[in-house]
C-alpha cells in the first residue's frame, strides 16, 4: 500500500497543501477535503505530515489529540486535514445517490413535459 506525505506552503490567499505519494506530486490544493479524497481514492493507509507526524488512515479522535501536540508549520491546516481523514473509512465514493423521480400512487413516475 502506498504511503503519502503532505507539506504546506503559505500563499497570499490560502495555505496550499502538496500531496506526494512515493515521492511523486499527486495533488496541490488548499482544500483538506480534496487531499483526503485523493488519499482515499489511492487507498493510502499511512500518512506523514511534514515529516513531523505520522498516522494510519482513517484517523480518529485520538489521532487528532496526538497531532495537536505536534509542531506543524500550519497547525490549523494540519488538524483540519487529520479531521477530514477521519471521515473516509469504508464509505461510498458518492455521497449522494442518483436522484430519480419518486413513484406516484399507481406506480407512474413523473414524466417530463412534452413539447407543444
Rounded to whole angstroms, how far apart are CA atoms 16 and 13?
A: 9
Q: What is the pLDDT of residue 88?
A: 63
Closest CA to 84 of 116, 25, 27, 37: 37
For the residues 75-83, what does the mean pLDDT come to? 96
CB 59 within 8 A of CB 86: yes
For the residues 25-53, what does the mean pLDDT come to? 95
Name the DSSP class of 12: S
pTM of the model: 0.73
CB 69 within 8 A of CB 63: no
Amino acid at each position: 500500500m502506498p504511503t503519502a506525505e503532505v507539506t504546506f506552503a503559505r500563499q497570499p490567499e490560502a495555505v496550499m497543501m502538496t500531496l506526494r505519494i512515493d515521492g511523486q506530486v499527486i495533488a496541490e490544493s488548499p482544500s483538506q477535503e480534496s487531499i483526503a479524497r485523493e488519499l482515499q481514492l489511492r487507498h493510502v493507509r499511512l500518512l506523514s505530515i511534514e515529516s513531523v507526524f505520522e498516522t494510519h488512515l482513517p484517523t480518529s479522535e485520538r489521532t487528532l489529540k496526538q497531532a495537536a501536540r505536534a509542531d506543524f508549520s500550519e497547525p490549523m491546516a494540519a488538524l483540519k486535514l487529520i479531521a477530514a481523514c477521519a471521515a473516509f473509512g469504508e464509505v461510498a465514493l458518492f455521497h449522494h445517490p442518483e436522484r430519480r423521480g419518486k413513484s406516484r400512487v399507481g406506480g407512474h413516475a413523473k414524466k417530463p413535459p412534452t413539447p407543444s
